[in-house]
Amino acid sequence: MREKDTQYILDWIAIQELVAEYGQAIDFGRDTGDWSRWVNVFTPEVIADYSRLFDGEPVTMARDAMAKVGGDALAPFHRVQHATANTVRTHFKSDTEAQVMAYADVAHFFYAGGVQQEWTVVIRYTHDVLKTAEGWRIRRVMLDPIHFRGNPVGLDFVKGKRLV
């Protein structure tokens, strides 16, 4: 376990900011089409494990490819809002590696028949983070859906289905 000195506190704060930025940068990317903020939270190569939501297996990719992942998954929604809770746990494995668990309520807004709909998923994120020359970055993200609320068509949308 790391000594809880000034550097520990600075690293802990930087990781808290990184976890908050993960969700806020997704929202910004959906709103503006500019996914550069989101891409910047990752190491140059990232393991994206969204298999608990989308099925399949974790995928290793260049961080720039994450922009397409986010853009494609959120295309049917006109707004998205990540309400990220305080980090549940930050476990430092070393001075340059940690694992972080955080919860988020993620609301997805869309129109069906001219009426705004909402689909919300409560998520537990597990981030493996690495201290790099750029600062703390996410090396591996795992999304674990806990609960769904609202119009279940939203889940179909993130899985690539569309209304006709």
Q: What is the pLDDT of residues 63-88, one digit of tens each?
A: 999 999 999 999 999 999 999 876 67
Are 136 and 15 a contacting pair, CB within 8 Å?
Answer: yes
- Number of domains comprising the chain: 1
The answer to whether residue 164 scores a pLDDT higher than 90 is no
pLDDT of residue 86: 65
For residue 46, being part of any structural domain is answered with yes
24 in any annotated domain: yes
Q: pLDDT, tens digit, for every residue of 17-56?
A: 999 999 999 999 999 999 999 999 999 999 999 999 988 8
pLDDT reported for residue 132: 97
- Tell me: pLDDT of 3 over 90: no
Q: Tell me the CATH number at 36.
A: 3.10.450.50
Q: What is the pLDDT of residue 142?
A: 97
Task: Report how far Cα 136 is from the mean position of its chain's Cα atoms.
Answer: 15
The model's confidence at residue 1, banded by pLDDT at 50, 70 and 90, is: low
Residues ≥6 apart with Cβ < 8 Å to 119:
107, 108, 110, 148, 149, 150, 151, 152, 153, 154, 155, 157
Range(s) of the domain holding residue 75:
6-158
Q: Is residue 164 part of a domain?
A: no
Cα distance between residue 3 and residue 32, in whole Å: 41
**Is 116 a domain residue?**
yes
Task: Evaluate whether residue 163 is within a structural domain.
Answer: no
Q: Please report whether residue 76 resides in a domain.
A: yes
Rounded to 5 degrees, φ, ψ at 95 are: -70, -20
pTM above 0.85, yes or no: yes
Position with higher pLDDT, 163 vs 19: 19
Q: What is the model's pLDDT at position 106?
A: 95
Q: Is the residue at 57 inside a domain?
A: yes
Residue 136 within a domain: yes
